[in-house]
Structure 1
């Protein structure tokens, strides 16, 4: 099942990249920007056995195809604070993302799909990374709720529920 999600994600990102190469794309401050922000969350599932809180940074590059649909690349870092003698550990996602904006200001839905690299974890390098989001946006800010899941090696699902905020840094 994990491999199926990965194949579907790669196919979607690949087909979008091919479409972008076949069309005349004009990068402007109105359709492309960087997003930088912070996240906080509460680990659930397997992760809650080892951590009670997470905090991180969210970095994205976005291209808006039309007023409603955007794609991009996503990364960042989520730091999981250890509990009950467990060591802290982290997650670095390397992902593509898609978002649907219902209106120029208002509700959006989106998801990230890629690979989550684990740090400071023995015998586990990471796995399939999925991060669906729902939120509010305007020209400068995005505020969202997310459910982050990394289907890591050795049957470990690293799950996190939280909120994030990003600021749009326009290209000039």
Structure 2
């Protein structure tokens, strides 16, 4: 129940924030890209690699700040060896761990080519037994052209276990 309430509060805050910014919007950006990550924390015991899709839409609040929404898809590949994690100890094929993040996003631009920011929201668990959790993704990005961004990020999902990873991503701006 607490998770559903949290998701509804995040969605309400994002909606109110965007409607209040509507008068100040001077630019918009649709962003799509991919990222690859190396898990650590609890998940690193049974996964060595993650790959994902990033989608977002940002509105210019000022020359230095963007705010928006983000989503995507994340898939951590499981090593299908013996799994000994919490109450689970078994052998066999286990599904990859998959999330669909839904978040509010903000970016600060100290210079045109450099940005700092974060996505904060909820990661919906897709595979069986995955309940999802609070999603936090701080990032640093660098423009490598006027329509392409290279970024590094830290992903943290507070689930029944610690899903943490470092990721390198490539975004295309439209």
> What TM-score do the two structures reach when normalised by structure 2?
0.80
Question: 2:21 touches 2:61 (CA, 8 Å); kept in 1?
Answer: no
- Deviation of the 1:49 alpha carbon: 1.6
What residue number does 1:166 align with? 171
TM-aligned CA deviation for residue 19 of structure 1: 2.4
Please show how residues 122-137 of structure 1 align to structure 2 within 5 Å: 122=129, 124-137=130-143
Task: Name the structure 2 match of 1:145.
Answer: 152
What is the CA-CA distance between 1:12 and the residue it aligns to? 5.9
Q: Which residue of 2 aligns with 1:113?
A: 120
Q: Aligned residue for 1:95?
A: 103
Tell me by how many angstroms 1:87 deviates. 2.6
Q: Distance in 2 between matches of 1:99 and 1:32?
A: 13
What secondary structure sits across from 1:133 in the alignment? strand
**What is the aligned partner in structure 2 of residue 46 from structure 1?**
42
Q: 1: CA distance between counterparts of 2:50 and 2:28?
A: 29
Moved more, 138-147 or 110-119: 138-147
Structure with greater Cα Rg: 2
Structure 1, unaligned runs of 5 or more: none
Quick check: 2:28–2:60 contact (8 Å CA) kept in 1?
A: yes
Please report how far the alpha carbon of residue 18 of structure 1 lies from its aligned counterpart in structure 2 after TM superposition: 4.6
CA offsets per residue over residues 90-135 of structure 1, 9 Å max, x none? Answer: 111011100001122x21101000000112241x320110000012
- Determine the C-alpha separation between the residues in 2 that align with 1:12 and 1:47: 31
- Alpha-carbon separation, structure 2, partners of 1:128 and 1:24: 30
CA distance in 1, matches of 2:34, 2:19: 32
Secondary structure of the structure 2 residue equivalent to 1:102? strand
CA-based RMSD of the aligned residues comes to: 2.3
What TM-score, normalized to structure 1?
A: 0.81
Matches of 1:42 and 1:24 in 2, distance apart? 39
Listed as ranges, the gaps of 5+ residues in structure 2 are: 82-93
